[in-house]
A = this chain, B = another copy of it.
Amino acid sequence: MKQEALLTWKGKMEFETELYGHKITIDASPEGGGENKGTRPKILLFTALSGCSGMDVISILKKMQIEPKEFHVRVEGEMAEEHPKYYENMKIIYEFKGENLPEEKLKKAIDLSLDKYCGVAALFKKAIPINYEIRIL
């Protein structure tokens, strides 16, 4: 299946896109010639990864009849010092809060996401090391 997205320049360093009916603005910092009207683009890689895997995990857990009270997905990445400044690795931290959260089931849901379902993780794993940690708060 082919997908497409269009990003439109709005002047200076500001760009805008519309994804599934939702506008997202991209901009640089004032130091980078922009006005911070939106996020920097590169960190959207973290949101793509945490969103994709977070959705997998919450729906797999639901099938296991596990519903956390709170669920957060953090992504950390180390950026190269020299151009091109890409992320050389990423770590995903899955944070759960609630009752009835057996760690082996949380791990199973995460492994299913990262090894089988999450297309963003599959792409990134071809390029850089991705690892994860579970935190039960």
Report A's interface with B, CB cutoff 8 A: 1-9, 13, 15, 17, 19-22, 24-26, 28-29, 32-33, 36, 38-52, 54-55, 58-59, 68, 70-81, 83-87, 116-124, 126-128
Contacts and interface: CB of A to CB of B under 8 A. Distances in A.
B78 A42 contact: no
A67 B115 CA distance: 45
27 contacts: A1-B81, A3-B79, A3-B87, A5-B75, A6-B72, A6-B73, A7-B74, A8-B71, A9-B70, A19-B40, A20-B43, A21-B36, A22-B39, A24-B47, A28-B55, A40-B51, A41-B47, A41-B50, A42-B48, A44-B44, A83-B117, A83-B119, A84-B116, A86-B122, A87-B119, A126-B126, A126-B127
